[in-house]
Amino acid sequence: MRTETLSQKIPWSLPRRYRVGPTLAITGRRLDAPGRFTQRFYEALGASGPHIFPTNIAPPAAGCWRLTLRTGPTWGSLVALVRG
């Protein structure tokens, strides 16, 4: 039996010129109802090429989420629609 999840594998990447920390913290705040989550992911090993943070983001519920991504002094945000 297959169970349905709300997870999505996404490899986030940043050019080497950006300063990053050892982890990428993703905080989700639900925009259409109460809800919040935080997940942390380690950078993939590699001395050359871009910084790569493989993630498997798993919001706790379907809905509209603002995701804030932070690593070291670098951050960004986006809005995502999560469907069940």
Domain boundaries, the chain: 8-82
Q: For 24-73, what is each residue's pLDDT tens digit?
A: 999 999 999 999 999 999 999 767 889 999 999 999 999 999 999 999 99
> Which residues contact residue 13 at a Cβ distance below 8 angstroms, ignoring those fewer than 6 apart?
50, 51, 52, 53
CA distance 58 to 39: 8
CA-based nearest residue to 62, from 2, 9, 8: 8
The vertex-75 CA angle with 73 and 80, nearest 5°, equals: 165
Residue 18 has pLDDT above 60, yes or no: yes
Task: For domain 8-82, say whether CATH 2.60.40 is its number.
Answer: yes
Radius of gyration (Cα) for the chain, nearest Å?
14
pTM of the predicted model, to two decimals?
0.86
Using CB atoms within 10 Å of the CB of residue 51, give its burial: 0 to 12 exposed, 13 to 18 middle, 19+ buried.
buried
Q: 31 with 67: CB under 8 angstroms?
A: no
